[in-house]
Amino acid sequence: MTEPLFRRIDWASLDAAGRREALARPARRSQASVGDVVRTIFDDVEARGGAAVTEWAIRLDGAPPRRIAITDEAVAAARDALPPADTRALRVAAENVRVFHQATRPEDSALVETTPGVTSRIVWRPIRAAGLYVPGGTAPLFSSLLMLAIPAGVAGVTTRVAVTPPSKDGSAHPAMILAAAEAGLDALWLLGGAQAIAAMTFGVTLDDGEIPACDKLFGPGNAYVAEAKRYAAALPGGPSADMPAGPSELLVIADRFCDPEIAAADLLSQAEHDGDAQVVLVADRDATIDAILTEVADQLETLPRAAIARVSLAEARAIKVADMAEACVVSNLYGPEHLAIQAEDAETLVASIRAAGAVFVGRWAAETLGDYAAGPSHVLPTDGGARTLGGITTASFMTSMSVQTVTEAGAERLGPIAARLARLEGLEAHARAADLRSVG
């Protein structure tokens, strides 16, 4: 029997306010108490440095910060702790991520001559220091370490600071150590939560070494981590942040040709992440929704993380639309982190999608493949960020600059134009700087 896990919604019956409410993220993601805790931690770390980080880590992580050097010995021990098939799978995933990001690394543009003697180009440079937050807690997401550290390495970032919460016994999962090795990191810090973000924001000295202040913060996390990144980026002189990358999201567009078992499995794959995760089903028939929700209920019974999934599914939505065109409209309004299109004309529908972190097209494109091994990074914008932002790429770890070169003849031609426009804006000093180059 189908459990009432999803809130069922008829899109046609809603007014504008009702549609906004139907696509709202879970309220607990933006509770004021989250911001209050983050500010308290940041103020303490700014004032007391490493001592504050250590105290917060013991209180919230259950262990003090610890630096794990990625030595040959540590890697060998981690490899011995895992079945050979696991280490091979991790290596394949790492190589796919590396290949994809090497192939999509931005290149300096060609010279563009806009006026004879005036040429410009765009050049790319890696940022100096990147802070990489890798979620842990209820599951060690070593895949996120690959998805962050490898693109950063391909970009040429020289200082990559990777932090992740310790496991319950205060250790690091062997796969996390192997992932760090595959990414070419020299160390991994066992430190989580807002205190880890604060440490990478201000730079701190700890018993095991130094965490330097980072120029940009990356990575997904819970509501506290997401708020900490936002707060850090708003500080005067603080680091920038990659995107809002909070609890996971998945929207599935399904028509009568979908496989309900597969659609349900995809929805549960995100619901089991976190109680704050949100999944949304959009379909054009009640019968399709019924079949998928029945499968969700059946599969949930044997899911090891069923308790977590149930909390998430309390915020799930099943939305009936008129047709697949309207399904794309709803998806674009929501702007999901992950979008799975499980419909007969899935390839055709992609042209109508303009706001999604990653799109998985058709029956065989499991979102799980993207999570682990397809190549593109699975660190993607949440909370509607996909309406204006993309996911992590090599370019995320780089900056672009325009480089302009002007000959004497070019200055002679373009200087008077620039000077006239400067005077039109009332900026005489600008005009004189151009005049000095255009008057022989």
pLDDT digits (tens, 9 = 90+) for 98-123: 999 999 999 999 999 999 999 999 99
DSSP, res 136? -
Question: 205: which strand partners?
Answer: 210
> Does residue 116 lie in a domain region?
no
Question: 404: which strand partners?
Answer: 120
Tell whether 230 and 153 lie within a shared domain.
yes
> Does residue 21 lie in a domain region?
yes
Q: Which of 41-45, 93-97, 274-278 has the lowest mean pLDDT?
A: 274-278
Residue 152, CA distances (Å) to 69, 127, 173, 225, 282 in order: 19, 9, 22, 20, 35
Q: What residues make up the domain containing 201?
A: 32-108+125-242
Tell whether 235 and 259 lie within a shared domain.
no
**Per-residue model confidence as pLDDT tens digits over 166-180:** 988 778 899 999 999
Residue 327 has φ and ψ, to the nearest 5°, of -60, -40
Domains contained in the chain, number: 3
Residue 58, CA distances (Å) to 115, 166, 169, 223, 376 in order: 62, 11, 12, 20, 35
Q: What is the Cα–Cα distance from 54 to 63, expressed in whole angstroms?
A: 8
Tell whether 160 and 289 lie within a shared domain.
no
Query: Ranked by mean pLDDT, which of 137-141, 153-157, 243-247 comes out on top?
Result: 153-157
Burial class (CB in 10 A: 0-12, 13-18, 19+), 311: middle
Half-sphere CA count of 160, side-chain side, radius 13 A: 27
Question: Domain end: 190, 215, 242, which one?
Answer: 242
DSSP-assigned states of every residue in 352-412:
G--S-SEEEESTT--HHHHHHTSSS------TTGGGT-----GGGGEEEEEEEEE-HHHHH
> Does residue 119 lie in a domain region?
no
Tell whether 55 and 192 lie within a shared domain.
yes
pLDDT of residue 28: 66
Which has the closest alpha carbon to 389: 330, 326, 336, 351? Answer: 336
In the set 338, 347, 367, 430, the catalytic residue is: 338
For the segment 242-260, the average pLDDT, to the nearest whole number, is 93
Half-sphere CA count of 372, side-chain side, radius 13 A: 13
The answer to whether 333 touches 352, Cβ cutoff 8 Å, is: no
Instruction: Locate the DSSP E strands across 209-293.
Output: 209-211, 216-218, 240-241, 249-254, 278-283
* Diameter of the chain measured on Cα atoms: 88
Tell whether 19 and 57 lie within a shared domain.
no
pLDDT of residue 168: 80
pLDDT exceeds 80 at position 97: yes
In the set 337, 347, 367, 408, the catalytic residue is: 337
pLDDT exceeds 60 at position 2: no
Half-sphere CA count of 352, side-chain side, radius 13 A: 17
Question: Domain end: 242, 277, 305, which one?
Answer: 242
Which has the closest alpha carbon to 276: 82, 34, 93, 62? Answer: 34
The single residue listed with the structure tokens 């499968």 is 295
Q: Is residue 337 annotated as part of the catalytic site, yes or no?
A: yes
Question: Domain end: 190, 219, 242, which one?
Answer: 242
Residue 200, CA distances (Å) to 146, 215, 367 in order: 19, 9, 31
In this predicted model, which residue has the larger pLDDT, 310 or 222? 310
pLDDT exceeds 60 at position 89: yes
**Per-residue model confidence as pLDDT tens digits over 12-28:** 999 999 999 999 988 76
Tell whether 266 and 311 lie within a shared domain.
yes
Which has the closest alpha carbon to 150: 400, 377, 391? Answer: 377
pLDDT of residue 30: 62
Q: Is residue 338 annotated as part of the catalytic site, yes or no?
A: yes
State the sign of the Cα–Cα–Cα–Cα dihedral 126, 128, 338, 360: positive
pLDDT of residue 141: 87
Tell whether 315 and 416 lie within a shared domain.
no
Q: What is the Cα–Cα distance from 267 to 248, expressed in whole angstroms?
A: 11
Q: What is the Cα–Cα distance from 163 to 187, expressed in whole angstroms?
A: 9
